Amino acid sequence: MPIQTSDYISVKDRALSLGCNTPTGIAILPENFVNARTKGELFYGPAAYDLRENFQNGGIPETPLENEGDEFLTHLQESEISELILPTIFVGYALYVQNPHLIDLALSVIANYITDWFKNIGGKQSTTVNAELNIVVETNGRKCVKVKYKGPVAGLDKVRAIVREINSRD
C-alpha cells in the first residue's frame, strides 16, 4: 500500500469541542477522536499506552488530550499476528518549527517499538510484517493533513519525508 495523504479535521478545534487538553506538540489521538460525541466516549487502543511510555523514555514531550484527572478507556483490538495497528499521532506546527528533530526522534521510537513488538510475538522479521500508522500534521495555516502508512518498518523513512514536505509547502 502506498502512503496516502488526505485532509483531516482541526485537531485543536476538535479537542476544544470535546473539552480535552489542546495539543501543541506531539499527541496520541484516541481511536474514535473524530466520531466521539463526548469526551467520555474517547478510547485508546492498547498500543497507545506503550507508545506513550516509549516517548517518555525517549525524552519526547507529549501533550496528552486528557486533562488532569481524566482517564480515557482502552479498547482491545483484534488483528493478525503479522500486523500492528498503532494509534494516530498528532504533530503540531509549533513543534515542527521549534524542534523538527523531535519528529525524526518520534519516528525512530515508533520504528523501534514496531521491531520489538514483532520480536516479542515470535521473532517475526520486521521486513515481512506490516504496521499501520497515521500521522496528523498541523500546517502553518492550522490545516491538518493525515499521512496514512501501512507496511514494514523500513518504509517509515518515506513518512518522514512526507511530513517534512507537508510543513515546507505551507
The chain-wide mean pLDDT, for the chain, equals 87
Question: In degrees rounded to 5, what are phi and psi of residue 16?
Answer: -65, -40
pLDDT band for 142, please (50, 70, 90 cuts). confident
Q: How many CA atoms lie less than 13 Å away from 127 in the CB half-sphere?
A: 0
Q: Could you give the CA distance from residue 139 to residue 145 in angstroms, rounded to a whole number?
A: 8
- Tens-place pLDDT, residues 68-98: 888 887 876 555 556 788 999 999 988 888 8
The answer to whether 108 and 116 have CB atoms below 8 angstroms apart is no
Residue 139 has pLDDT above 70, yes or no: yes
CA triplet 144, 90, 25: central angle to 5 degrees? Answer: 105
Q: Which three cell numbers stand for residue 86?
A: 498503532
Q: Could you give the CA distance from residue 147 to residue 135 in angstroms, rounded to a whole number?
A: 5
Q: What's the pLDDT at 72?
A: 87
The answer to whether 135 and 89 have CB atoms below 8 angstroms apart is yes
pLDDT band for 121, please (50, 70, 90 cuts). low
Task: Using the structure block, give the residue that is written with the C-alpha cell 498500543.
Answer: 47
Residue 169, exposed/middle/buried by CB under 10 A (0-12, 13-18, 19+)? Answer: exposed
What pTM value is reported for the model? 0.89
Q: What's the pLDDT at 122?
A: 62
Under DSSP, is residue 37 helix (H, G, I), strand (E, B) or coil? Answer: coil
The answer to whether 5 and 146 have CB atoms below 8 angstroms apart is yes
Q: What residues form DSSP beta bridges with 145?
A: 7, 137
Helix orientation angle between 101-120 and 156-169, rounded to the nearest 10 degrees: 160
